[in-house]
Amino acid sequence: MSDQQQSALIREIQERFDRKLRENEIALLEYWREQIERVATMKPEGVAALQTQVKKISEMMTNRIRMLKRP
C-alpha cells in the first residue's frame, strides 16, 4: 500500500469516526432534551414536584456518566 493510499484510508476512517461521533452526540442531546421537555410540560402540584423531577433527571445523568467511565 502506498503512502497516498494509506493517507486516503486514514482520512476516510477519520471522516467515518467523526460522522459517527456527531450522530451519537445528536442522539444523546435529543434524549436529554426530551427528558427536560417532559418536565417542562408537566403541571406539577408545586415546586417540590418539579424539584423531584429535575433531581430524577440529574440522577439518570449521573448513572449514565458512571456507566461510561467504567473500564
pLDDT value at position 62?
93
* Selected residue with higher pLDDT from 44 and 69: 69
Please, which pLDDT band fits residue 27 given cuts at 50, 70 and 90? very high
SS3 46: coil
Calpha distance 47→55 (Å, rounded): 12
Burial class (CB in 10 A: 0-12, 13-18, 19+), 22: exposed
Dihedral (Cα; 19, 21, 25, 26), 10-degree rounding: 20
pTM above 0.75, yes or no: no
Query: In this structure, what C-alpha cell is assigned to residue 37?
Result: 421537555
Please report, for the chain, the start and end positions of each structural domain, with discontinuous segments joined by +. 3-69
Segment 42-47 mean pLDDT: 81
